[in-house]
Structure 1
Amino acid sequence: MAGPSPRDRVIDECTAKPGSVEDYPFGDQVAVFKVFGRMFALVSLGPPPGSVSLKCDPGLALDLRARHAAITPGYHLNKRHWNTVALDGSVPDDELDELIDHSYDLVVARLTKAQRNELRT
């Protein structure tokens, strides 16, 4: 039996983050994951394979784009701080999980101390 699709796995990873809220501010074709109202992931819900856009350190973003054809500048986002990853299986699951963690951590780092403390409880 096949496991979850890459897109379903990404959605599960994003949903599991402390304080994560799934929202649809851009319509029903894009699931947006936020923590305290700040976006950390956008998952396209159109035809497979789909993609996920993730916040990323600018230097790392450039390195990732050079190493993976499936990683491109953020679609309709600040291209310096966001990458879009095609969920075609070419980026290993563990690396994709690290990119989701990195995006989430960048957003959490910008929250107030009180908000960060609330995530820990």
Structure 2
Amino acid sequence: MSDNAHIHEFSAPDDAENAARDIADVPAIEVINTVAVHLLSAAAVKCGLADDPDSQLDLDEARKLINALAGLVTAAAPDLGDQHARALRDGLRSVQLAFREASPFPDAPGKGAGEKYTGAVN
């Protein structure tokens, strides 16, 4: 394959323009909620909450995802409105508790996954 063929294969200006136009039509709250749900779902799987019996518990990865989710939810809550923020906080709290329960050596209160953003979760 020539260099030009390789470049042409990866450049699709029409697709990029369409994607930019599509994302421009999506309200910020929807984008934030979508990202939060992806983080929440991934954290739940890493905490062992998946229906798949073959899924692997990975608390290191779960902590990273929960920290990111907690930061996003905390920062975005004032802009999301009570209904959206409450649902995200509830999901966040659920994965934080699942993380604590799955940990062989649970963190001290206030030191768990995401708790620097949310405070201690009991």
TM value normalised by structure 1: 0.30
* Greater Cα radius of gyration, structure 1 or 2: 2
Structure with higher strand content: 1
TM value normalised by structure 2: 0.30
Structure with higher helix content: 2
